[in-house]
Amino acid sequence: MSIIIKVPDIGVDQAEVIEVLVKPMEKVNFEQGLIVVEGQKASIEIPCPKIGIVKDIYVKVGDHVKINSSILTLDPIQSDLKKKLKKQSINLKNKKIDSSNLFINNIKKKKQNKKSILVHSSPSIKRLCRKLKISIEEVKGTGRKSRILKEDVINYVESIKNNKIKKNKNNLKNNINFKETIFLSKIQNISSKIFSKNWIEIPHVTQFSKLDITKLENFRKKININYKKLGIKFTLLTFIIKAISINLLKFKKFNSILHDKKDRIIIKKDINIGVAVNTIDGVLVPVIKNVNKKTIKKISKELLYLSNKSRNNELQFNDMNQGSFTISNLGNCNVGQFTPIINFPEVAILGISRATIEPVWRNNNFIPRLLLPLSLSYDHRVINGVDGALFIENLDKNLKNFYKLLF
């Protein structure tokens, strides 16, 4: 009896099919992937709930599906497991019989071999072989009637040494030429397709700048002393997230998506900021919702919570959707400015590098200041250079008014 496999509740109203993983007449196992769908922020693989044979497939790449949309028809397989168990039991019996016969044959062969090997040598030569821990049967005799002489034993030992030296040299060569192959994880495979598509289809422009955060950093260290007892630690990223949320209220283009017809933009009402988190399996982007309505204390707690969920592979689909702006933070790495790739359908992304102390010319003197390198990438169809410059300029003002960011 055929059954229809449908799309389960994946946390979004609608998603696009980006990959079909099976073909008609193909056998699929329990929890084997059928299709991969992409929402606003992440991709998810929909598994098969039963074992069976694929009959008809109702979706293709590019289709939009929702809850209870039909994926394919499946002919379930019920008797496979029993057949396998019977075959395994029969195979085990046959193996036992075969193994007993093999054991008997091996004993017979060993007895025959022992009878057939006749070694001609003196007791002193046999004693020498025992001392050197070598098998006398392996030494070729050059004396009369293939009698083994002392010189034969010495030559045999030298040949073993030469073979070992050659093997060691070959092993060294093989180790030098050895190349390790590492397969990409599922997340990396899916992400690579999305990143490639975003890079090709979106006309990126990246602006680089450095902001003076000397006063902000001193303030951050002071308040962290007071909040340490409560188990709260404010990172520089929490201040930046809050400052960007204020920016997005003023510069609404940065909190928009480009319409499918490419002739208009849709301004988002909510300010939801995604933060790229590096994990063992690849980069994930959990989203902090309604950032403008939260205090920096609340943002700090939520950022820590989502980061831990990401690294423990516990993120749900709802944790990664509905984003309107993304931050890629490389502040913990010793790298300069970089070009972050926009997270479609968003139109902008901010890259953060490590802050460094640099000399700044003021009042006819060079003074040490802590400068934060930023990389702002944006979709040039929506945002122009002046918009980008004003966005960074206003972000600088927000970070300098750090007292306002606390509330």
Q: Active-site residue numbers?
A: 380
Q: Which residues of 98-116 are buried (b: 16+ CB within 10 A; e: fewer)?
A: eeeeeeeeeeeeeeeeeee
Cα 328 from Cα 374, distance rounded (Å): 10
What is the length of the chain?
A: 407
Cα–Cα distance for residue pair 252/153, rounded to 1 Å: 90
| One-letter-per-residue 3-state SS of 216-272 | HHHHHHHHHHHHHHHCCCCCHHHHHHHHHHHHHHHCHHHHEEECCCCCCEEECCCCC
Q: HSE-up of 145 (CA within 13 Å, CB side)?
A: 4
CA distance 400 to 152: 89
Q: How far is CA 177 from CA 113, 164, 195, in A?
A: 42, 20, 33
List the Cα angle 71/73/77 in 5-degree steps: 130
- Residue 88, judged by CB atoms within 10 A of its CB (0-12, 13-18, 19+), counts as exposed
